[in-house]
Amino acid sequence: MFLEIKNLSKTYSNGVQALNNLSLDISTGMFGLLGPNGAGKSTLMRTIATLQEADQGSIHFDGLDVLKEKHEIRKILGYLPQDFGLDPKAKAEEMLDFFAVLKGVVDNKQRKEVVRNLLVQTNLYEHRKKNLGTFSGGMRQRFGIAQALIGNPKLLIVDEPTAGLDPSERVRFHNLLSEIGENIIIILSTHIVDDVSELCTKMAIVDQGTVLFNGEPAKAIDSMHEKVWKKIIDKKELESVKKQYKLLTSKLFTGKTEVRVYSDTPLDNGFICAEPNLEDVYFHYISSGRE
**Binding footprint of ligand ADP on the chain (CB under 6 A):** 12, 14, 16, 18, 35, 37-43
Q: Alpha-carbon distance 114 to 273, whole Å?
A: 53
Q: Alpha-carbon distance 36 to 205, whole Å?
A: 9
End-to-end, the C-alpha distance of the chain in Å comes to: 36
Cβ-based nearer residue to ligand ADP, 12 or 253: 12
| Strand-pair category, 77-80 with 155-159 | parallel
Q: Alpha-carbon distance 58 to 64, whole Å?
A: 11
Cβ-based nearer residue to ligand ADP, 82 or 249: 82
Cβ-based nearer residue to ligand ADP, 33 or 95: 33
Strand arrangement of the beta sheet that strand 210-215 belongs to:
77-80, 155-159, 185-190, 29-34, 202-207, 210-215
Give residue 289's Cα distance to chain centre.
20
CA angle 144, 153, 62 (to 5 degrees): 140
Cβ-based nearer residue to ligand ADP, 14 or 254: 14
Cβ-based nearer residue to ligand ADP, 45 or 124: 45
Q: Alpha-carbon distance 126 to 119, whole Å?
A: 8
The minimum distance between CB 217 and ligand ADP, in angstroms, equals 19
| Strand-pair category, 272-273 with 228-233 | antiparallel
Cβ-based nearer residue to ligand ADP, 37 or 183: 37
The minimum distance between CB 99 and ligand ADP, in angstroms, equals 24
The minimum distance between CB 239 and ligand ADP, in angstroms, equals 28
The minimum distance between CB 242 and ligand ADP, in angstroms, equals 25
Instruction: Find out whether 134 and 106 touch, Cβ atoms under 8 Å.
Output: no
Q: Alpha-carbon distance 118 to 177, whole Å?
A: 13
Cβ-based nearer residue to ligand ADP, 39 or 157: 39
DSSP-based three-state secondary structure for 77: strand
Instruction: Find out whether 190 and 162 touch, Cβ atoms under 8 Å.
Output: yes
Element at 72 (helix H, strand E): helix 70-75
The minimum distance between CB 194 and ligand ADP, in angstroms, equals 17
The minimum distance between CB 114 and ligand ADP, in angstroms, equals 31
The minimum distance between CB 200 and ligand ADP, in angstroms, equals 17
Residue type, 258: E
Q: Alpha-carbon distance 155 to 79, whole Å?
A: 8
Cβ-based nearer residue to ligand ADP, 38 or 137: 38
The minimum distance between CB 235 and ligand ADP, in angstroms, equals 30
